Amino acid sequence: SLLLPTLAKAKNKANRLKCANNIKTINMSYQTFASEIDGETPHLMGAFTGPDGNKFAQSLGYSSVDDPYDTTRWMSAHEIRQSLVTPRSLVSPLDPEAMAAMRGSALKPFDGLGNKPVQVASGTQSYAIAMQGDLFAPETVGFMTRNLKNASDAQRRAWYQAKGGRNSGDIWMYPNGDRPWSKHIGAAHIQDGGMSGFAAEFHGEDGDEDPKHTMEGLPGGEANWGAADGSVSQGSSSGFNDQLRRAEANFREGQAIAPGLNLTVLRPQQ
């Protein structure tokens, strides 16, 4: 009987490492794609602006310039999906509900879908895409487990107003144009701590549980995340907030043009 908890702990540790490796794979898919577009990050591409923006996006594999801001379509770019190989790369072994949804879906390996844009249902994914992620700013967060707690709408609007570059509670300024909050599909907002920095928190079975956003294998206050430099961390809310503080000091080295750190993420849910 003493052996069972030990085995369960060892299995969870192995699954958490596999989950971290999935984030590394997603990170690498962005790096591979960036090598085709002068090192740029998809959601920060200035070339998506103007009358030919959609045509350019479609030449890369997207259905439109909106895909990099959509939880179900960000992986459409040819280089990203070829690097990922299969939608199963987007499911964590710590997330049995997403694994069950993936098994019940008819999703094929990406190379079986031809050149058409792809769409992967939110419920079959375990990882959120952070809009601050910038391959020219190595400390920014690009990817994380989906168990992030969402900020209140009032807090999000205040952050957009102060940091988004348009003095608006609903618009964020990107290199390819202004984007309303409503045009981030599947969006959540990392909690900020006001003057005291950042206050991100994560759902868990043993903490503030939320059935839509809890991953069974991650306890409350725990997450995995990847930074733009390719590093992946298995840590806690406090470690993640430390990462955000480093990102805040570093993001201006990249492509972002808004005055503040972007805290919007594309977060899949059950």
Instruction: For residue 235, count CB atoms less than 10 angstroms from its CB and return exposed for 0-12, middle for 13-18, buried for 19 or more.
Output: middle
Residue 46 scores a pLDDT above 90: yes
Q: Which has the closest alpha carbon to 105: 92, 124, 86, 85?
A: 124
pLDDT band at 1 (very low <50, low <70, confident <90, very high): low
Identify the pLDDT of residue 194.
77
Q: Which residue has the tokens 């540790």?
A: 13
- Whole domain around residue 10: which residue ranges? 3-266
- Strands of the 127-130 sheet, one edge to the other: 187-189, 264-266, 127-130, 141-145, 222-227, 232-236
Residue 81 scores a pLDDT above 90: yes
How many Å apart are CA 13 and CA 2, to the nearest integer?
Answer: 18
**145-162: average pLDDT:** 97
What is the domain count for the chain?
1
Of 76, 85, 82, the closest CA to residue 119 belongs to 76
pLDDT at 4: 62
Q: What is the pLDDT of residue 3?
A: 64
Which comes out higher in pLDDT, residue 11 or 197?
11
Mean pLDDT of 65-73: 98
Q: Taking the CB of residue 106, how many other CB atoms lie within 10 A of it?
A: 4
pLDDT of residue 150: 96
In tens, the pLDDT along 95-129 reads: 999 999 999 887 888 988 888 889 999 999 999 99
The rounded distance, in Å, linking the Cα atoms of 211 and 245 is 29
CA-based torsion, 125, 130, 134, 138: positive or negative = negative
Residue identified by tokens 């939320």 is 210
With a CB cutoff of 8 Å and minimum separation 6, the contacts of 143 are 23, 26, 27, 127, 128, 129, 130, 133, 225, 226
- pLDDT tens track for 202-239: 999 766 668 899 999 999 999 999 999 999 999 999 99
Residue with the larger pLDDT of the pair 11 and 171: 171
Structure tokens at 84: 């990922």
* Whole-number pLDDT of residue 2: 61
Lowest-confidence segment of 155-169, 204-218, 242-256 by average pLDDT: 204-218
**Does 88 have pLDDT greater than 90?**
yes
Q: Rounded to an integer, what distance in angstroms lies between the CA atom of residue 44 and that of residue 46?
A: 6
pLDDT (average), residues 184-207 = 88
